Structure 1
Amino acid sequence: MTSDTQQTQHATPDTETEAADLREVIRNARVVLWDFDGPICRLFAGHSAEGVADGLVEWLEGRGLHHLLTESERESLDPHVVLRAVDRLRPGSDLVAELEERLTQEELRATATAMPTPYADPLIRTLTALGLRLAITTNNSPRVVATYLAARGLTSCFAPHIYGRTQELHHLKPHPHCLNLALRATGSAPGTALMIGDTPSDFLAAREAGVPFLGYARNERKEKLLLGAGATRVVPSLEPVLEAFRG
């Protein structure tokens, strides 16, 4: 894994107005809910998510179950699309359980080559030092999150508040289930929380839960998707977030 000292991506708000707006976003935060894959790391940086999705499709086809997927679902680059599609037709089945476990195993393999998001580690440690409560609210397996955090020495910053994918796949974001779990467990009102996420499903889950949202977009495509979903505050780097909390 790449250390923070090796990460060279830099970005700051374009104007003082943007910086002030960012400070306003974080002013009332007492608990920060993090999506995992994106804001904390690029889980599939060295273990292609597209390859994982293809593998799940091939596994289904090898069992004569290709009819469970539409053509667009078979061609999807997102393994969660495949998982949701099967769950929609076979909810609660052994098939869904086995497919979910196969995805978890692929995610676990991916942790070995996951790329830490620039400034994520120091931001997490800064928030902890400031006394904020932190939680993970993700569509990835909680076993995967725990493995990654342990490797980075960050477990104590989050534990026990890791809320991820279960076999109840209808609870995946954009459903706010994992966010609501985190709020209840930390005894936090939605207005005192802040969600940091990088996908439209993160934004929609936060909106449904009544939690203020800060989007992280490492490229223009991510930014357009977040803005298109309705997010109003999006940063290209966690550096200005770190500086705002330090300030």
Structure 2
Amino acid sequence: MTYSYVLYDLDGTLLDTNELIISSFEHALGTHTPGAYTREDILPHMGAPLYEQMENFAPGRSEELVATYRRFNIEQHDTLVTAFPHVQDVLRELHEAGVKQAIVTSKMRLTTEMGLKLCGLTRYLDAVVTLDEVENHKPHPEPVLKAMELLGADPKSTLMVGDSPFDIGAGRAAGVATVGVKWSLRGEEGLREHRPDYLVGDMLELRQIILGD
């Protein structure tokens, strides 16, 4: 086994929440700042904490935008969220092999748990670190370090997996190896420039890296 501890971002990494997130942004921005932003304006900010993103779009109005976003997001959640291919099978196999696994996400706990339950992943996880458990958010290392503390993880045996520069930056700052997933909306080249230790095309490739086979 190459890595005994694996930390995953959630949205865009394990769960295909891309359409839900973009639609939620479009709804909130269309409600409060009609005509000001397009889908293309939203994509570069995905992965950052929600309040931070909304403050960028509408300074001083983030509270109302976040409230509108979250209402829509929760209402549409179960209709628009699915797991990416092989996610459940790979997490189950790693769990059975003794790999300790955790979620490190900038989402609030409510919607994090909704997604994990919907896609049948909760049973394979040993820890979940959300927006609600930390003061600083990715790319700050605090969420990664918090997850490692909960797992009792050794940095040399830990892997951080994500779809954004925020995930790669947080993992690097915490002193662990990093993986960028090529199914990110940013695309392979959008992640390569941030120099993750690995880039993977699917969950089966990630499994091979973790188990060393």
Give the 5 Å matches for 1:96-175: 96-97=62-63, 99-108=65-74, 109-158=76-125, 161-166=127-132, 171-175=136-140
The SS at the match of 2:102 is strand
Q: Does 1:55 align with 2:27?
A: yes
Instruction: Note if contact 2:29-2:37 (Cα within 8 Å) is conserved in structure 1.
Output: no
d(CA) in 1 for partners of 2:62, 2:199: 35
d(CA) in 2 for partners of 1:154, 1:220: 22
d(CA) in 2 for partners of 1:190, 1:106: 38
* Match of residue 191 from structure 2: 226
* Match of residue 15 from structure 1: none
Amino acid paired to 1:76: I
The structure whose Rg is larger is 1
Q: CA deviation at 1:188?
A: 1.6
The SS at the match of 1:118 is coil
Q: CA deviation at 1:85?
A: 5.0
d(CA) in 2 for partners of 1:167, 1:57: 27
d(CA) in 2 for partners of 1:221, 1:235: 14
Q: CA deviation at 1:97?
A: 4.9
The SS at the match of 1:140 is coil
Instruction: Note if contact 2:10-2:105 (Cα within 8 Å) is conserved in structure 1.
Output: yes
Q: CA deviation at 1:219?
A: 6.4
Q: Does 1:178 align with 2:146?
A: no
* Match of residue 206 from structure 2: 241
Segment of structure 1 superposing worse, 185-194 or 76-85: 76-85
Amino acid paired to 2:187: K
d(CA) in 2 for partners of 1:176, 1:100: 24
- Distance change in 2, residues 1:105/1:246 (3 Å): farther
Aligned sequence identity (%): 20
- Distance change in 2, residues 1:194/1:153 (3 Å): same
The SS at the match of 1:194 is strand
> Number of matched residues?
207
d(CA) in 1 for partners of 2:128, 2:84: 18
Q: Does 1:76 align with 2:42?
A: yes
- Distance change in 2, residues 1:44/1:110 (3 Å): farther
The SS at the match of 1:135 is strand
Q: Does 1:36 align with 2:10?
A: yes
CA-atom RMSD, angstroms?
Answer: 3.3
Q: Deviations over 1:170-193 (max 9, x none)?
A: 723212221121111122232221
d(CA) in 1 for partners of 2:81, 2:193: 28
Amino acid paired to 1:84: E
- Distance change in 2, residues 1:107/1:130 (3 Å): farther
Segment of structure 1 superposing worse, 142-151 or 120-129: 142-151
* Length-normalised TM-score, structure 1: 0.70
Q: Deviations over 1:179-232 (max 9, x none)?
A: 121111122232221111111111011011111111111269521111111224
Instruction: Note if contact 1:83-1:96 (Cα within 8 Å) is conserved in structure 2.
Output: yes
Q: CA deviation at 1:236?
A: 1.3
Consecutive unaligned residues in structure 1, runs of 5 or more: 1-25, 63-69
- Distance change in 2, residues 1:207/1:129 (3 Å): same
d(CA) in 2 for partners of 1:220, 1:107: 19
The SS at the match of 2:12 is coil
Segment of structure 1 superposing worse, 140-149 or 194-203: 140-149
